[in-house]
Chain A
Amino acid sequence: MKQMIVPKQAAALLVLLLTALPGGSLAAGPVVKGQVARTSKHATQGITCAQCHGKAAKKSVVAMQQCLGCHGDTKELAARTAQVKPTNPHENRHFGTEADCNRCHHEHATSENLCLPCHLRFGFKVP
């Protein structure tokens, strides 16, 4: 069974379970610690669950401030991507420099381009 699930679907499933069960621990249901970690890009760099989610048994959604702790100030980020065409994704009319990282950059699922489909031709590749 396990081998039949393609990674993308597995990641989506895990995210679904995690968000749908805010009270559940990571070990609830079919989700086990190792599988969650494998969907994480951070985990491959030796970063532990607790570094983002804290040590509590209930793993909640990570606040944006947590991202900034390692990745740095939003305004500096916006300056680094100022030349991106057709527009700077990190400084926009909707949120200024304060768009929540998680709106586009997902840790346990495929990242998405929030600008599409409203803005035709804003074809950003989102890491």
Chain B
Amino acid sequence: MSQDHFQEDQETDQYTKQTIENGFSRRSFLSRAAGGAAAAGLFGLSSLPAAAAGPTKTKDLEFATSTDGGATLSFLPKPKPIRDREIAETLTFDVVVVGAGASGVPAALSAAENGAKVAVIQKAPFALSQGNTGSGVDLATSEKAGIEALVARLIADSNHRCNPKLIRQWAYHSGEAVRWVIDRARQGGSPVVDQGSPAQRAILKVNGYSMGYVTSFFGPKPYTTGDGMRHLAKTAEKAGVRFFYRTPAVQLVQNKAGEVLGVIAKGPNGKYTKFLAKKGVILATGDYQNNKAMSDYFVPDVKHLERKQLDKTGDGFALAYWAGGVIEPIGHTKMLHDFDAGPASMCDMPFLAVDRKGRRFVNETVEMSLLNNYLRDAENAGHYSQIFDSNYMTQAATWPGKLVPPEGLKNYMPDDPSPKKGVFESQVNTHVADTIEELARKLEADPAILVATVKRYNEVVASGKDSDFGKPADRLIPVVKAPFYGIHRRVRVSAICSGMLVDENHQALNAEGKPIKGLFLIGNLGGGFYGGVDYPLTVFGLSLGRCYTFGYLTGKHVAKL
């Protein structure tokens, strides 16, 4: 992309410039494959010479292949358009939303409440989402300087690589949006509650300024936001939204000028339906973690890490990319947690931590959300264990987080016969044993290695200085008094939260930075909201809060077009 173009356009921000220059669009892909970045910017999408319209497979592979041969750019070949005679039925709406999740269902309802005739098409048999908490800023109880301080914190969390406009948009509209989701989900029968500011203890003051929050909680488990979105979908149905389940989107309908006019989807009967959208198509299809080629290419860090979701195959990425959209540059932001194996409130407590074999590997003050970076290899694959002894309730009493007493830990122990409450029974993985060897076996670690690790750790603790990893002295407590406890966590991919280039209306931009008429991208498909190596846990529930907010705003915006 030529520098001159941007000097002419004073409006284009740093984030957008960067994404256009280094992101992936059909145009940049074709240009680079055809002979390097010098060719970029010379041709508009529609004026590409015919010969360049379809790079050969060989060229794709030559252009981008990782050293193990696994990552290539050949994952998004544009299919031949489905012909009209293959279409069994054509339906016309004002707004068509693709994907019934935490951004799609709010977008559909919001559009319907603003007068639009709305269809939602969804690949799965019902609405789906994950997690419990979704958050927003309560403007009434927040100082303006505090909101700006929080925005600055979130930008820093994203290593200063996000689009600040989108962070501000979340900050100033999320309170209203999250409250609206709570109200409308309740109308559909959800037991959702607002946990408010107490759920955000660590950020009630930001840089000394006061803040208040709206914190929606769809829980406790096994009730999740998935159930919550199904309840919200009931409200949406009452508001006139039509849901088409088991109906995956296959292609967008575009005219020659590149405007998006609708979506073609395949119904459960195997037949195509054309959904025309008079005002716009909103893609809310989520991330691509189950698409191996895309994952290996854009976020190779998670190659060996397990996935939490199913069928997140990046369908919307393909649709928007074929339509001229721009995928954010390589190095996408990932979200990896394990709040299930043991108490979530103890996940960041700096107990001795050991890798899958039983070796100490980190200064344990590193947060769980970052530990995946130490455990990316095939052997560890995200597995580690927190180890502590029976003095933990007193010795770790002043640490940040919240300790769960031994009786409560039984709720997380698969070997304990007590009935489980508020957890996923198949995910709990906390253990207790009278010896370190026995604990190691329960944690699936190597007993000899774990015994040696604990012995060395206790020496370090006794010396009062962590000469191995430099952990602060007040975070050093010994592992000496039986019974011994271990929480076997495995951080898995909850989401990949980088996406495709959008403006503040969440309208997709093409490789020239121009809006693609009729195409809007929200949820984890929308780009610009993150940018760091890992999803930040500064605001609990930021991810869902952002999905609700941008769904709410985009539904309203498109309905009013």
Contact = CB atoms under 8 A, between A and B. Distances in A.
Contacts of B424: 119
Interface stretch (A4-12, A13-21, A40-48, A88-96): A88-96
Interface string B421-441: 000111101000000000000
A117 B426 contact: no
B310 A121 contact: no
Contacts of B126: 96
A63 B269 CA distance: 10
A70 to B, nearest CB: 18
Given A63-B270, A93-B226, A96-B126, A122 B246 contact: no
A118 interface: yes
Contact of B270 (A65, A97, A122): A65
User: Interface size for chain B: under 10, 10 to 19, 20 to 34, or 35 or more residues?
Assistant: 20 to 34
Nearest to A103: B310
Contact of B306 (A86, A87, A118): A118
B125 A122 contact: no
* Dominant SS among interface residues on chain B: loop
User: Interface size for chain A: under 10, 10 to 19, 20 to 34, or 35 or more residues?
Assistant: 10 to 19
B241 to A, nearest CB: 20
Contacts of B429: 120
Contacts of B308: 118
Nearest to A99: B125
Nearest to B381: A117
Contacts of B426: 86-87, 115, 118-122
Nearest to B268: A65
A55 B274 CA distance: 29
Contacts of B128: 94
B82 interface: no
A76 interface: no
Interface of B: 124-126, 128, 222, 226, 246, 268-270, 306, 308, 310, 414, 424-427, 429, 492
Given A118-B427, A120-B427, A122-B426, 5 more contacts: A63-B270, A65-B268, A93-B222, A117-B306, A118-B492
A117 B308 CA distance: 10
B434 to A, nearest CB: 23
Contacts of B270: 63, 65
18 contacts: A65-B269, A86-B425, A86-B426, A93-B226, A94-B124, A94-B128, A94-B310, A95-B124, A95-B125, A96-B126, A98-B125, A115-B426, A118-B306, A118-B427, A119-B426, A120-B414, A120-B426, A121-B414
Contacts of A119: 424, 426-427
A80 B226 CA distance: 26
Interface of A: 63, 65, 86-87, 93-98, 115, 117-122
Contacts of B310: 94
Report which residue of A93, A117, A118 has the largest number of chain B beta carbons within 10 angstroms of its beta carbon: A118
Contacts of B124: 94-95
A58 B425 CA distance: 45
The 7 closest A-B pairs by CB, nearest first: A119-B426, A98-B125, A96-B125, A94-B310, A122-B426, A120-B426, A121-B426
Contacts of A115: 426
Nearest to A64: B268
B414 A98 contact: no
B243 to A, nearest CB: 14
A98 B308 CA distance: 19
B289 to A, nearest CB: 13
Contacts of A63: 270
A94 B246 CA distance: 12
A47 B494 CA distance: 42
Nearest to A116: B426
Nearest to A74: B125
Contacts of B226: 93
A115 B424 CA distance: 13
A118 B243 CA distance: 29
A122 B429 CA distance: 14
A108 B246 CA distance: 26
B246 A98 contact: yes
Nearest to A93: B226
Contacts of A87: 426
A93 B150 CA distance: 35
A121 B426 CA distance: 6
A96 B126 CA distance: 8
